[in-house]
Structure formats: C-alpha cells, structure tokens
Structure 1
Amino acid sequence: MSNKRKYTKIYGVAALLLLFCLPFFTVSIYGIDGVSMETTIYDGDYVLVNKLKYVRNDLRYTNIIAIKLENGEKIVKRVVGMPGDTLKMENGVLYRNGNVVNEAYIEHYTDEQKSLLNFNEYHITSGYYFVMGDNRLNSVDSRNVSIGLIPKEDIIGRVITQYTLNPN
C-alpha cells in the first residue's frame, strides 16, 4: 500500500471518529423531571444543551442553562442575574439593579401568590449567577439555600432547543 493511500485511510478513519464522537462532547440531551420551568419546558420534555466552553462564557439574561449541583443532580433554570447585579422581588415583580425586569415568560399570579415570591435585595458576586425557574411557585432555585448562587464552573451549558416525545 502506498503512503498516500495509507494516510488517506488514516485521515478518513480519524474524520469518521471525530464526526461521531464530537457531538458527545459538545451537546447533551437531558430529560426534564419536574414542573419548575413550566410554562416554557414541561415535565417529561427533553432539552438539547450546548456544552461548548465559549457558550458558558457568553451567557445572557433569560438564557436557559443546565447546571450540575454539588450533589451531582442536574437542573435546568433561567439566568436572571449575572455577576455584579443586585436583585430583589416585590409583589411578584423582579428588579435588577433597581429596574423592573420584563419577564413575558412568567405566568400571572394572584396578589396572594405574588407575596410568596418576594425576596430581599441580593447582590451577586463575581463568578456567580442567579437562576430561577419560570414556575416561580414550584421551583427550587437560587432563592433557596439548598442551591443558592451558581458558580460559573457548575454551568454545563445553554439549552438550545427542547422537544416533547408525548405531545398530550
């Protein structure tokens, strides 16, 4: 076998391996178990997560991200606060750095429910993010001591799409 054919074969095999292995390192599929992101993502849905590092370095408000908690559990939440921000919630309205945050993805709550959502001013330190579920009354998120602020290194990646296997 000539050297040219040998190298062509090696490059071909390498290209095929790369083609089939790369998706495992760049994207992951996670099943959703819970109602904390309703009405955006539902219990039983699946999300496709882009795990590339540059994606984690380019987070924006309202991005939905996958997070690996200290106990190994993986959760999906929405970014509402970034390093340096100050957040608070009054009467169900989120304030970021003193300004009302327009959250069109949140369902409307009764006045009684809104009072349950309130939290005092919270400053987000460098390297951390504040995340919340869209179903605010049924979400364990950065408001809870068990989760708190999310360190950047615990962010797996950004959700790029979601799908439902059972549309009923």
Structure 2
Amino acid sequence: MATKRSDWIDWIKTIIITVIVIVLIRMFIAVPIVVEGPSMLPTLEDNDRLIVDKISLVFQDPQRFDVVVFHATEKKDFIKRVIGLPGETIEYRDDQLFVNGEYVEEPYLQEVKRNLDPEATYTVDFTLEDIPGGTMTVPDGHVFVLGDNRKNSTDSRHLGFIPLEQVTGISRLSYWPVKNIGIVE
C-alpha cells in the first residue's frame, strides 16, 4: 500500500515540476504564436505557427531585418520586420531602401519584386518625416518596422516608431504547416 501511495506522490511531483518548467519557458524563453493576416507575405503566411524567442532580448536589442513580435495595442500583437534602428535615417526611394543615405539590399523581397510588373512599385517612396511622429532619425529606444507585404501592412508607416519595451520577441522558427518548417529569415 505504501508503494502505491509513493507512486502517486511521485507522479504528482513530476506533473507539478513539468507545469512549472513549461510556464517558465513560456514566460521567459520562447512562446508559440500564430500569424494572423497577409502583412508578412511572402515570408510568413496567414496561420503559420512560429516559435518566438524572448530570451535573446535580455542580451541585445533586435537587429536590422529581425522579424519581431510587439504589442501594437493592449490586446493585439503584430509581427513585422525591423528596418530601422535607433539613430538611423530611413528612406525609400525608387523602391529601394536607404539607411543613413546608403542603399541596403532586402534579399527577402527579391523574388516578389522580380515578379512585379516592371512599372509597378512594391514600396512607395517615403522618409521618416512622413510617418506619424516623424523625425529625421529613429528615436533612441525605438525601432522602425515594416511588413514584408508592403501594399497590405499596418506598420511603422501608420503606427509610428515602436518602443523597444513593446517588442516581446524575435521570430526564429516556423513549425507549421509542415511545408514551411524552418528558420524565419
């Protein structure tokens, strides 16, 4: 009889420890999320499932071209790509990205741009002064983000600069659907 009771106690301890570990991982290390909407096409599709890395933000701020998750409102998180970092000037001219006056290639958009009508523009021209709260440079403690689907994305062009404290994680891995399993680039 004592063995059965001991077995039950061991099972309960195991379950409690497992729950605690899962909660700690979700709070501080990584969390699964679901992509909602077309704003990150062609990189991410509606209903893709991702693992978002939270722990790396403890050690460093997001880097250019990281795909980040941030609080857009109290109840809604958005997924977008970091384009501008604090202190940088950002400009789109003739469908090309310029950071601090230097052309910067966006490899994740090459295929979609190749398939465009030669007369079409994927990203409409703008400078940081054209966006809400516009300034000459990205303010300290903020990033400038865009969706990869430039024609259908609510991003910094509409929301303004994103405070770093609102960034909750960096999308690292896509795990569903199976055809999209891999590193988020």
TM-score tier after normalising by the smaller chain length: 0.7 to 0.9
1:162 partner SS: strand
Choose which of 78, 91, 94 in structure 1 pairs with 2:94.
Answer: 91
User: In 1, Cα distance between the equivalents of 2:143 and 2:90?
Assistant: 11
Choose which of 142, 145, 155 in structure 1 pairs with 2:156.
Answer: 142
1:116-155 per-residue CA deviation (whole Å, 9 max, x = no partner) reads: 61102442010010000111111111111xx111001110
1:69-128 per-residue CA deviation (whole Å, 9 max, x = no partner) reads: 134211100001000000010111010000111101012044553276110244201001
Which residue does the alignment assign to 1:131?
145
The answer on 1:151 being equivalent to 2:169 is: no
Pick closer, same or farther for the CA change 1:153–1:127 going to 2, 3 Å: same
Partners of 1:90 and 1:115 within 8 A in 2:
no
2:63 partner SS: coil
What is the CA-CA distance between 1:54 and the residue it aligns to? 3.4
1:125 partner SS: coil
Q: How many residues align?
A: 156
Query: Kindly, what percent of the aligned residue pairs are identical?
Result: 29
Could you list the runs of 5+ residues in structure 1 that have no partner in the other structure?
1-8
Which residue does the alignment assign to 1:5?
none
Which residue does the alignment assign to 2:23?
21
2:108 partner SS: coil
1:138 partner SS: coil
2:82 partner SS: strand
Could you list the runs of 5+ residues in structure 2 that have no partner in the other structure?
1-9, 130-136, 181-185
2:26 partner SS: helix
